[in-house]
């Protein structure tokens, strides 16, 4: 697998979804194994590597999204 950095358009989220500004995302052994093609279950390519991180909810849609706007959250892929 070859890694590259790209600018992507912002995804449009639907009801019940939020957009998170990532502030930290660690690189773990499982991330490295996935990049090398040695992880147990490989995602379909192209994919964005990374299994976890921390961020702040910046935008959301849905009846309960107001409760999490501006909150720090953990993200698990």
Active site residues: 39
**Sheet with 18-24, side-by-side order of all strands:** 18-24, 52-60, 72-76
Question: 75: part of which helix (H) or strand (E)?
Answer: strand 72-76
> Measured between alpha carbons, how far is 68 from 6 in angstroms, rounded to an integer?
28
């Amino acid at each position: 697998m070859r890694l590259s950095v790209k600018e992507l358009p912002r995804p449009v989220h639907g009801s019940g979804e939020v957009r998170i500004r990532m502030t930290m995302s660690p690189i773990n052994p499982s991330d490295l194994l996935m990049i090398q093609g040695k992880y147990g279950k490989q995602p379909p390519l192209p994919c964005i590597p990374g299994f976890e991180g921390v961020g702040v909810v910046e935008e959301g849609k849905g009846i309960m999204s107001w409760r999490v706007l501006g909150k720090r959250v953990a993200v698990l892929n």
